[in-house]
Amino acid sequence: MFEIIKDQVQNIKKIVVVTGAGISQESGIPTFRGKDGLWRNHDAMKLATIDAFYDNPELVWTWYNERRANIFAAKPNPGHKAIAELEKYAQVSVLTQNIDGLHQKAGSTEVLELHGSIIKIKCSVCDYKEEITSEFSEIPPICKCGNILRPDVVWFGESLPQDVWQKAMILANQCDLMIIVGTSLVVSPANTLPIYAKQSHTTLIEINPEITEMSSEMDLVVRDTGANSLPELVSLFKQN
């Protein structure tokens, strides 16, 4: 499956893993797009934009509460665990579009959350932020400053946290291997990370059961799931 990098693994010191919703699909968390994706039944513009939030904060909060309950119950799958295990063999940075925290639960130590986290909330006006430890008795919850609290996630049309994004671009530029798992690569700017890596002649591997916008740019495409294929990649490092 990963034969083409077999002779290279000894020289791979820095790995960047770019992940999307697909890596968590086998943990029971639905993706947005692709087969059985959430956007087949929900309208993104009514749930994941700042305008939607101000139009109907109760609806948006209810949707996030349901997703959070599902995410809290989820466990890392062999794909997340294999990425964590790769740290035994190289410096590994995970640049994730996911908001579910499963890479951290699996043991990955450097995880950059490009799109925020579903377990965090922030004020829609002031600088207040906190981690959610229990459910709210009323939605939308209200900040001490009197304004509405919102999930600390990046919605469509919003900028990524700039410190996180700057660091992600640098890591993408400096790695020896980039593994891209479970992302449709349609959401910008996260979908530009493989381009930064390619500019520095990094080997690019895509793991995705379906074709993506950038499949033709990859050095290797594995048409399989993360949980099926990533443990095999780790065993290649083990053997060397």
List, by residue number, the catalytic residues.
Answer: 115
Nearer to ligand NAD by Cβ, of 31 and 93: the residue is 31
CB neighbours of 146 closer than 8 A, spacing ≥ 6?
none
Tell me how far apart the alpha carbons of residues 99 and 120 are, in angstroms, rounded to a whole number.
9
CB of 22 to ligand NAD, least distance (A): 2
CB of 50 to ligand NAD, least distance (A): 15
| Torsion angle of C-alpha atoms 83, 165, 63, 213, degrees rounded to 10 | -70
156, 124, 128, 154: which is closest to 140 by C-alpha?
124
Nearer to ligand NAD by Cβ, of 42 and 129: the residue is 42
Residue nearest to ligand NAD as judged by C-beta position: 22
- Other C-beta atoms within 10 Å of 32: how many? 18
User: Is 65 labeled as ligand-binding?
Assistant: no
CB neighbours of 228 closer than 8 A, spacing ≥ 6?
none
Nearer to ligand NAD by Cβ, of 160 and 177: the residue is 160
Tell me how far apart the alpha carbons of residues 197 and 175 are, in angstroms, rounded to a whole number.
7
User: Is 12 labeled as ligand-binding?
Assistant: no
User: Is 43 labeled as ligand-binding?
Assistant: no
Nearer to ligand NAD by Cβ, of 57 and 209: the residue is 209
Tell me how far apart the alpha carbons of residues 235 and 45 are, in angstroms, rounded to a whole number.
42
User: Is 100 labeled as ligand-binding?
Assistant: yes
Binding site for ligand NAD (CB under 6 A): 20-26, 29, 31-34, 37, 97-100, 115, 181-184, 186-187, 207-210, 212, 225-226
Instruction: Give the ranges where the chain is alpha helix by DSSP (H).
Output: 50-55, 57-73, 78-85, 102-106, 162-174, 193-199, 226-239
Q: List the binding residues for substrate.
A: 64, 67
Q: List the binding residues for NAD(+).
A: 97-100, 182-184, 208-210, 226
Q: List the binding residues for Zn(2+).
A: 123, 126, 143, 145
